[in-house]
Structure 1
Amino acid sequence: MTCIASASLLAPSVSPLAESPWTRRSRGLILDLDGTLIRGHEVIPGARELLACWSDRYVIVSNNSTDTAASLAPQLQGLGLPVEAGSVVLAGEQAVHHIARSYPHCKLMLCGSEHLQACAAGLGLVLVSRDADVVLLARDVGFNYARLQAVTRELMRGATLMVSNGDLTHPGPKGSVVPETGALLRAVLACVPAVHPHILGKPSAMLFKEGLHRLKLSAEDVTVIGDNVRTDALGATRMGMGYLLVGSAPHADAPDVARLLEIECVRRHALPEGIAEGDEGQ
């Protein structure tokens, strides 16, 4: 798909947004976070304007598996992004809630942050270091050989493996690369290749369904804006939502959100040529 530059490249505001084809077909937005609105503690150009223009008509749906919505929203507000916790859906937190619903009061080995540990305990899950019913693998910055050995032991004895997301990396500030949960998963599967992981984050449907629920809109009325064709675009097409991509990847519609607000662009409903339905992760 080709995006045609608008004749009037005004600063982003409600008026030019109303003239763009993708906005005319959108009643609400599902927005990716890392690489779309922020890179680490850097705000990507256009992010503030986009959130201000769409106000209470967006939900951020992210494969972030470090924070909870309550811990992340103040961080985003500190960057000048007017985001409330109720507008944030995060893979790690949603994975914990999924386990609490599906395996109530189970014994859980959780490889993840203190925020996720507190969330799990608050939902009645019993956190253990051995004899687990379920292992949840999230972005664990303290992951080491001992943790890998412990996870391998629990999976070998029959524990269920849940994974917050399959991303190998996410974009960091100044072009840096931040290792993600999927990189840890590859180490685990190298030790127990017969184990089948249940990956809960994008492009799987769970987070997108929660986003639609919070927007109170049907899929055809929502546009997904992200930076990853194999998570954002793939997840959107599976759910019947239109999508747009930003960033430096070959399939991007615009280099950043600021440019997306300045050009006429039609949202897409099919994956780009050369991207297969089964392609996931980064």
Structure 2
Amino acid sequence: MTRIASASLLSPPDIPTAEPPWALRSRGLILDLDGTLVRGHEVIPGARELLARWSGRYVVVSNNSTDTAAGLAPRLQALGLPVRADALVLAGEQALRHIARNHPRARLLLCGSDTLRTCAASLGLELVSRNADIVLLARDVAFSYATLQAIAHQLARGAALMVSNGDLTHPGPQGSLVPETGALLQAVLACAPGIRPPRILGKPAAMLFEEGLRRLELPAEDVTVIGDNARTDALGAVRLGMAYLLVGESPYADAPDMARLLQAALPRRRALPADVAGGAADQ
């Protein structure tokens, strides 16, 4: 694994050189993607500037369960976001890698994109339509009644259920909402009562964040998570001892977008909102 190498870039002329308090306390960043850097094909204000200023010192950790890092990186670069594939940690791809490491001989029923199916085959996983040991549920825009029926049947006969992420939606362009894996999970659970609880691998669970820390080669206390969701980005950060900041339009947000966050004289946060489990002190 190639380490995310440090790099020094001069700030563009229109970016203030003075760092806000949250940046001075951070050696590296773990960044969310949808709703934080982009909304669909729209780049959120300040995203390019933040990536330039923190070049070589960030990892994007996303509950994206459609793409692989190798496929998504060029599309982000085409939007002007210089994100390398080795700086992308994506829930769907990482779920497949987890299964390949820990259950290499498992028969896998995969509900997901063609991209993830290709990735699974490249990892040597056996994809099946019946007699599955594991069902992996990811975001599948072709999800159908037949898919739901097949998954429910495999779970009823004892297959374990793993889920790339539990998000119901993610932010799309112009304020739209894009249905996510968690919405499909609700349909599956309604048709499969009494099964073993599913294992959800994406944020706020630790797996993706731990991979981000591994790539940064930094301890948790030196890293700040920036996202848009208190129940995934903030909660996952606090559980692992990382500070966080939130952007967006939610009542929990520290700034409406990255442009405002870059100018905000804010401390990093360690206390979660009152209605989100956990908490500690600001720093």
- TM interval, shorter chain, is over 0.9
Q: Tell me the residue number matched to 1:7.
A: none
1:94-173 paired onto structure 2 within 5 Å: 94-173=94-173
Q: Report the Cα distance in structure 2 between the residues aligned to 1:143 and 1:12, rounded to whole angstroms.
A: 44
Unaligned runs of 5+ in 1: 1-9
- Which amino acid in 2 is paired with 1:110? L
Q: Report the Cα distance in structure 1 between the residues aligned to 2:47 and 2:81, rounded to whole angstroms.
A: 8
Q: What is the TM-score normalised by the length of structure 1?
A: 0.93
- Which amino acid in 2 is paired with 1:179? P
Q: Tell me the residue number matched to 1:16.
A: 18
Q: Report the Cα distance in structure 2 between the residues aligned to 1:193 and 1:31, rounded to whole angstroms.
A: 36
- Tell me if structure 2 keeps the 8 A contact 1:35–1:227: yes
Q: Tell me the residue number matched to 1:90.
A: 90
- Which amino acid in 1 is paired with 2:78? G
Q: CA deviation at 1:275?
A: 2.0
Query: What SS does structure 2 have at the residue aligned with 1:92?
Result: helix
- Which amino acid in 2 is paired with 1:255? P
Unaligned runs of 5+ in 2: 1-12
Q: Tell me the residue number matched to 1:207.
A: 208
Q: Tell me the residue number matched to 1:256.
A: 257
- Which amino acid in 2 is paired with 1:52? A
Query: What SS does structure 1 have at the residue aligned with 2:109?
Result: strand
- Tell me if structure 2 keeps the 8 A contact 1:166–1:181: yes
- Say whether 1:227 aligns with 2:224: no
- Tell me if structure 1 keeps the 8 A contact 2:36–2:248: yes
Q: CA RMSD in A?
A: 1.2
Q: CA deviation at 1:102?
A: 1.2
Q: CA deviation at 1:49?
A: 0.2
- Tell me if structure 2 keeps the 8 A contact 1:68–1:92: yes
- Which amino acid in 1 is paired with 2:136? L
Q: CA deviation at 1:276?
A: 2.5
- Tell me if structure 2 keeps the 8 A contact 1:12–1:46: no
TM-superposition CA deviations, 1:63-97 (whole Å, max 9, x none):
00000000000000010000100000000000000
- Say whether 1:275 aligns with 2:267: no
Q: Tell me the residue number matched to 1:42.
A: 42
Q: Tell me the residue number matched to 1:194.
A: 194
- Tell me if structure 2 keeps the 8 A contact 1:152–1:188: yes
- Which amino acid in 2 is paired with 1:250? P
- Tell me if structure 2 keeps the 8 A contact 1:136–1:162: yes
Query: What SS does structure 1 have at the residue aligned with 2:271?
Result: coil
- Which amino acid in 2 is paired with 1:184? L
Query: What SS does structure 2 have at the residue aligned with 1:210?
Result: helix
TM-superposition CA deviations, 1:155-177 (whole Å, max 9, x none):
00000100000000000000000
Q: CA deviation at 1:272?
A: 1.3
- Tell me if structure 1 keeps the 8 A contact 2:92–2:116: yes
Query: What SS does structure 2 have at the residue aligned with 1:108?
Result: strand
- Comparing 113-122 with 201-210, greater Cα deviation is found at 113-122
- Comparing 197-206 with 185-194, greater Cα deviation is found at 185-194
- Tell me if structure 1 keeps the 8 A contact 2:230–2:246: yes
- Tell me if structure 1 keeps the 8 A contact 2:238–2:278: no
TM-superposition CA deviations, 1:103-151 (whole Å, max 9, x none):
1132110000111101111111111111111100000000010000000
- Tell me if structure 1 keeps the 8 A contact 2:155–2:192: yes
Query: What SS does structure 2 have at the residue aligned with 1:264?
Result: coil
Q: Tell me the residue number matched to 1:243.
A: 244
Q: Report the Cα distance in structure 1 between the residues aligned to 2:215 and 2:18, rounded to whole angstroms.
A: 27
Q: What is the TM-score normalised by the length of structure 2?
A: 0.92
TM-superposition CA deviations, 1:197-230 (whole Å, max 9, x none):
0000000000000000000000000000000000
- Tell me if structure 2 keeps the 8 A contact 1:11–1:262: no
Q: Tell me the residue number matched to 1:5.
A: none
Q: CA deviation at 1:274?
A: 2.4
- Tell me if structure 2 keeps the 8 A contact 1:34–1:170: yes
Query: What SS does structure 1 have at the residue aligned with 2:235?
Result: helix
- Tell me if structure 1 keeps the 8 A contact 2:46–2:257: yes
TM-superposition CA deviations, 1:219-249 (whole Å, max 9, x none):
0000000000000000000000000000000
Higher relative contact order (CA 8 A, sep 6+): 1
